[in-house]
Amino acid sequence: MVDLTALVLDAAEYYEPLAEAREQSMMVKATHNVQTVGDRDLLFQAIANLLDNAIKYTPRGGEIQVTLAVKSPGTAELTVADTGPGIPADASQKIFQRFFRLEDSRTRQGSGLGLSLVEAVVHLHGMDIRISDNAPGARITLGVPIQTDYVVTD
């Protein structure tokens, strides 16, 4: 069992100084005691990759929102949303390909492996991943199976 709430809070705390250095605000809202089955290190790396991308592509003064919420018994959603340039609809599935980079990101540091790793971790853990427009920016949501006896209080 992995305490997903603690993992999200730890990852956000780790990346917060980087966001602050870029004059970005990071808001985190996480439901308490969300438990899932998985590999803690791989899950942390996936969350870290999502945060790293959000910080990298959000302009100075932008916002990053991290939300972990129980949506139904047995399912939680982890969302990382930013106010960056977003992801064009025609590239929404390509971004998970190894080494793929959007044209405007080719001048930025990175290898194009971050989201392919996220997708691999997501599938390994029986999760799903969705990309949507945050108007402005991108919103990436992971559907996470959670401990079935968790009680939804929202």
Whether residue 152 lies inside any domain: the answer is no
Number of structural domains in the chain: 1
- The β-bridge relationship of strands 128-133 and 63-72 is unpaired
**In this structure, is residue 38 part of a structural domain?**
yes
pLDDT in tens, 110-123: 444 468 889 999 99
Print the domain residue range for 30: 2-145
The CA distance from 61 to 22, in Å, is 7
Within-domain flag for 151: no
Residues near 53 by beta carbon (within 8 Å), at least 6 away in sequence: 114, 115
**Domain-located, residue 150:** no
Q: Phi and psi of 145, rounded to 5°?
A: -70, 135
Q: Which is more confident, 148 or 74?
A: 74
* In a domain? residue 48: yes
Q: Which pTM does this prediction carry?
A: 0.83
Q: What is the mean pLDDT of residues 89-117?
A: 54
Query: Does some domain include residue 140?
Result: yes
- Retrieve residue 71's tokens: 């949506």
Q: What 8-state DSSP symbol labels residue 151?
A: P
Residue 37 forms part of a structural domain: yes
